[in-house]
Chains A and B, each alone.
Chain A
Amino acid sequence: MKKASWVIMALVTVVFVVSWIAKSSSYNGETDNYIAQGFLVTFAAFLTLSIMSFLYKDNPFYKFAEHLFVGISAAFWMCMGFWSTIVGNLIPRLSSSLSEWFKVPYIESDYNIAFYVPVVLGILLLMRLSSKRGWLSRWPLAFIVGTTAGLNFIRYLRSDFIKQISATLVPLVVDWQGVGHFFSTFSLSASGQFVAIVTNWVVFLGVFCGLIYFFFSKEHTGAFGRASRVGIWVLMITFGASFGYTVMGRISLLVGRITFLFKDWLEIIG
């Protein structure tokens, strides 16, 4: 390692230790395990700053934080899967002695021989680890893919297709009581008639031009091509809105992290 790296490493260590001591003393009296609490907050701040340091350039601190995160999350999800799926859902319905062993309440009324089916499928899925019996894991996979496809197909068709078509069938002239009435009560408020009419027209044109853009069986020329142009405009506006929302979301996350640094770690804001 270069000399500069040693200096930075030493500096970070010193800041870490000083922060740990300072945080622990500030928690002293509030909680019993104030030293651990001080360490946790300092370590969280260290990890936050390590990840943020990537914005300057890739560095060992970033790599450390990233690998720690990957490792911990993998382990967390594995434990979670075991305790919530196998211990939480399966064992209470399978055996009273096992339930007792894992200290979960046994659900007597739910006992059903069918619960052995997922056990067998689960074991078959694990056969993937064996190179010889690996093909057995395709059976549970086929089951998963088949049932999910079947369940989702109907639900999506209903919620995302038919119900969405039905939501598109909006009157293009809302509460029409004549031209005179329209102009005499003209207003730009969000609940006004004019805005309602414009909204419905935008929905109508947006949906149909968007569909035309995704129509692949015909060359996009002439009127069809113009509708398709409108369609791509609608899509781009949607993507723009989505992008704007994402910026807002990301800044919220940044605010969350900076608030943590300022409030919980440095205690410079209330």
Chain B
Amino acid sequence: MKYKLLIVSLLLLGGSVMVSAQTEAPPPDSTAAVIDSSLFPAPVSLLEAFDTDNDHGHAVTLEWETSADDGVGMNSVIRYEVYRWVPSLLDTLAALNSNISEIRGRLLRDEDLPDDESVLASLREQFDMVLDGLEAAHAAYPENGEWRKIGASPSGETGYSNTGSKERGNSEFLPDFCDLYYRVDAVTADTDIRTASVIVGPVQSSGQWINSGRYPVLWAVLIFGFLTIWFVRRARKGAELYVRPLAGIEAVDDAIGRATEMGRPILYVLGLGSAADVATIASFTILGRVAKRVAEYQTQLLVPTYDPIVMSVAQEVVKSAYFDAGRADAYQDDIVHFVTQSQFAYVAAVNGIMLRELPATNVYMGKFFAESLLLAETGALAGSIQISGTDEIAQIPFFIVACDYTLIGEELYAASAYLGREPVLLGSLKAQDYAKAAVIVLGTIGIIAANLDWTAFTSLFRVAN
């Protein structure tokens, strides 16, 4: 250890002279004698190497001040080449690895090569032995290794990031928690004319548990999570949380009245979502409300479903709505029935119901895909009043043109919270409202900041990759 430290400090003191003697890239002695020493550019200065921040490890960042001959002075530097001290064991590893993959390829192509299999086994053994010695080899600096070019930065640049592989078998393996040594050469157009920097090291790379560049996401998660829990608790305690009335929901009551007057049924479509989709869950609440009114008015209700689980949940919802309305006797199990799990076959079946039963009102609430226009258009042709709501943005335009009322995106959730007064729904709706308010406020400040070039504020929203 002492010996190692001595060598390092000697090297640091010795600077570029020592380095050029040690490396293979700078000119051999014979040419060095020929080249005028005044042609060599000044080396980079203040070279620093440190572990790359906010990463998974296996990476080191280098920073330096440009050479006195880059852009100014002789202006001869065209690029900076970055060298790292690499133990020769890595080469052995790479050779073994390529041997192994070659034999494996041969075995894949041709099955009868018993010899190769035994060679493969012994190669594997050697490979594993080398792997085990890798960390120790890195600690053996400066013996059994060489300076190897790992990359370059164009002139004018003052940094380089050396990202290695985390796979130990890889030839670009860069171990964590091992001493690494770097140097940077200032290179001129004639690549023989170059000057090496002092050697920096030892430096160790390591991974970080927390990526501080992503703090904005963490804050957003915490604030939003807190708001949600806070409002859900308030709703549970029975606090009065205001939700504005929505036109589409008011229309549902009128439409049920109309159906009763006309003596025609009401068709309720839950969409193609599964019972776990938020839109479908919201739709259940609205279905409960519709079913209750239908039971009170003694109108007929039709609920064809696409998903068996959605069907069983919907049956429960309708049943309890009929009970609430005091019309349990009017409830029948086939109000909610299963059709099929094939998208367009389902559409065909529902379209058939629309044309045969001629419902006075069609309600589409939930998740819809390409079938949205097919359903809504047939309903419009049949002359029904149509009310729709979905959070599938791509389908909203179709509903808007073909339906009388449409709940756009979040309005569907709001409608369900408005009708159901369920604490979880109501609480999260409130939390979302406050998040939106925060966006409006922060956004307005941000825009002012952007106009005034006040980057401190706008950088709050910068998230690292």
Q: How distant is the Cα of A242 from the Cα of B395 in the complex, in angstroms? A: 9
Q: Which B residue sits closest to A62, measured CB to CB?
A: B348
Residue interface bits A168-198, CB-to-B below 8 A is 1, else 0: 1111110000000000000000000000000
Say yes or no: is A12 at the interface (Cβ < 8 Å to chain B): no
| In the complex, per-residue mask of A93-118: 1 if CB is within 8 Å of any chain B CB, else 0 | 00000000000010001000000000
A162 with B216: CB separation less than 8 A: yes
Q: Kindly state whether residue B409 has any CB partner on chain A within 8 Å.
A: yes
Residue contact A207 to B244, C-beta cutoff 8 Å: no
Partner of A216, one of B244, B344, B443, B462: B244
Nearest neighbor of A69 in chain B, beta-carbon distance: B344
Which residue, A166, A169, A215, A239, has most C-beta atoms of chain B within 10 A? A169
> Is residue B321 contacting chain A, with contact meaning CB distance below 8 A?
no
Q: Which residue of B217, B348, B398, B450 contacts A162 across the interface (Cβ within 8 Å)?
A: B217
The complex places the Cα of A35 from the Cα of B463 at a distance, in Å, of: 60
Q: Please name all residues of chain B whose beta carbon is closer than 8 Å to the beta carbon of A80 when the two chains form the complex.
A: none
Provide the residues of chain A in CB contact with B214, threshold 8 Å: 158
How long is the Cα–Cα vector from A233 to B111 in the complex, in angstroms? 69
**Complex CA–CA separation, A208 to B348 (angstroms):** 41
Return chain B residues, CB-CB under 8 Å to A246. Answer: 397
Q: B408 interface residue, CB < 8 Å from A?
A: yes
Q: Which residues of A contact B108 (CB under 8 A)?
A: 105
Picked from A105, A157, A172, A217, the residue with its CB within 8 Å of the CB of B221 is: A157
Task: Tell me if B325 is interfacial: C-beta within 8 Å of chain A.
Answer: no
Asked if B21 CB lies within 8 Å of chain A CBs, one says no
A214-250 interface code vs B (CB 8 A; 1 in, 0 out)? 1111111000000000000001100110110010000
**CB < 8 Å: which of A162, A170, A173 contacts B463?**
A162
Residue of A at shortest CB range from B444?
A: A208
| Bound CA span A8–B196, Å | 88
Q: Is the interface of B mostly helix, strand, loop or mixed?
A: helix
Question: Interface code A122-155, partner B: CB below 8 Å = 1, 0 otherwise?
Answer: 0000000000000000000000010000000110
- Scan residues 421-449 of chain B and give those whose CB is less than 8 A from a CB of chain A: 429-430, 433, 436-437, 439-440, 442-444, 446-447, 449
B312 at the interface (CB under 8 A from A): no
B446, A215: Cβ atoms closer than 8 Å: no
- Across the interface, do A214 and B436 meet the contact criterion of CB distance under 8 Å? yes
Complex Cα gap A67–B344 (Å): 10
Q: In whole angstroms, how far apart are the Cα atoms of A157 and B435 in the complex?
A: 12
A45 part of interface (Cβ distance < 8 Å): no
B276 contacts A by Cβ under 8 Å: yes
Q: Is A204 an interface residue (CB 8 A)?
A: yes
One of B401, B429, B463 near A243 (C-beta < 8 A): B401
Is A70 engaged at the interface, CB distance under 8 Å to the other chain? yes
Q: Does A267 contact B (CB under 8 A)?
A: no
Residues from chain B with Cβ under 8 Å of A169 in the complex: 443, 446-447, 449-450, 458, 461
Give 26 pairs: A residue, B residue, CB < 8 Å, sorted on A.
A67-B345, A70-B342, A74-B342, A105-B108, A145-B276, A154-B217, A157-B217, A157-B221, A162-B216, A162-B220, A165-B442, A168-B446, A169-B458, A169-B461, A172-B450, A207-B443, A211-B436, A212-B440, A215-B437, A217-B243, A217-B244, A217-B433, A219-B244, A236-B400, A239-B397, A242-B393
